[in-house]
C-alpha cells in the first residue's frame, strides 16, 4: 500500500480537490462502480515530488457507467460535462475530476494495481509499471504534433514520465 504523506505545491487547492474527490468516490461507491486512479495524483503518490501541482484528478472506469453517475450528479446538483473524447468531467467551482473511459483509453495497457491511501480514504491506483506505460503511450501519441495545446500536453507528459522512470521498482 502506498500512503500519501506529502502535499503538492498547491496545497490549498489540493485539499479542496481531495474533499471533492471524496464526494465523487462516495457516489461511485454507492453505485458499486470501481474507479482506478491515474494521472498527476498517481504520479505524485509515487514520486512524492512536492514541487508538483495537482490541478485535477484523473480516474477511469467503464464508460457504460457514465449515465448512472450523471444521474446522481444531476440529483445532487453537481456540474458535469460529457466530452466527445470519452471523458466525463465532474466540476465544482475551480475543481475538476475526470473519469476516462476504460474501454477507450486503456484497452492496450497492462492493468496492474496498487492501493493508495489518502488520510482514511483508499483508492485503487495503477501500479508503477502500468502508470509508466500509460505515460509512454501518451508521449508516443503526441510526439510530433504541431498544435500548441498538444505540444504543451506532450511536454507535461514527458516530464511526468521522466520522473516515474527515475523510481526504482
Is residue 17's pLDDT more than 80? yes
Domain ranges of the chain: 2-127
- Scan for cell 504543451, then name that residue: 152
Q: Is the distance from CB of 74 to CB of 1 less than 8 angstroms?
A: no
Is the full-model pTM beyond 0.85? yes
Give the tens place of pLDDT for each residue, 46-76: 999 999 999 999 999 999 999 999 999 999 9
CATH 3.30.460.40 fits 2-127, yes or no: yes
Give the tens place of pLDDT for each residue, 119-135: 889 999 999 999 999 99
Q: Length of the chain in residues, anyone?
A: 169
Residue 128: partners with Cβ closer than 8 Å, 6 or more residues away: 46, 114, 164, 167, 169
Q: What are the distances in angstroms from CA 14 to CA 21, 51, 58, 132, 158?
A: 10, 13, 13, 23, 22
Amino acid at each position: 500500500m502506498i500512503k500519501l504523506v506529502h502535499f503538492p505545491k498547491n496545497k490549498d487547492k489540493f485539499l479542496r480537490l481531495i474533499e471533492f474527490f471524496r464526494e465523487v468516490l462516495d457516489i461511485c461507491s454507492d453505485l458499486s462502480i470501481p474507479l482506478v486512479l491515474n494521472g498527476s495524483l498517481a504520479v505524485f503518490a509515487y514520486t512524492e515530488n512536492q514541487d508538483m501541482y495537482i490541478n485535477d484528478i484523473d480516474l477511469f472506469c467503464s464508460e457504460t457507467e457514465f449515465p448512472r453517475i450523471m444521474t446522481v450528479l444531476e440529483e445532487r446538483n453537481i456540474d458535469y460535462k460529457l466530452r466527445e473524447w470519452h471523458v466525463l468531467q465532474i466540476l465544482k467551482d475551480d475543481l475538476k475530476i475526470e473519469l476516462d473511459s476504460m474501454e477507450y483509453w486503456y484497452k492496450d495497457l497492462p492493468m496492474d494495481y496498487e492501493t493508495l491511501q489518502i488520510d482514511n480514504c483508499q483508492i485503487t491506483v495503477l501500479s508503477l509499471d502500468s502508470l509508466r506505460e500509460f505515460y509512454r503511450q501518451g508521449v508516443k501519441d503526441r510526439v510530433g504534433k504541431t498544435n500548441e495545446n498538444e505540444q504543451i500536453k506532450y511536454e507535461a507528459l514527458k516530464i511526468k514520465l521522466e520522473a516515474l522512470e527515475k523510481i526504482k521498482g
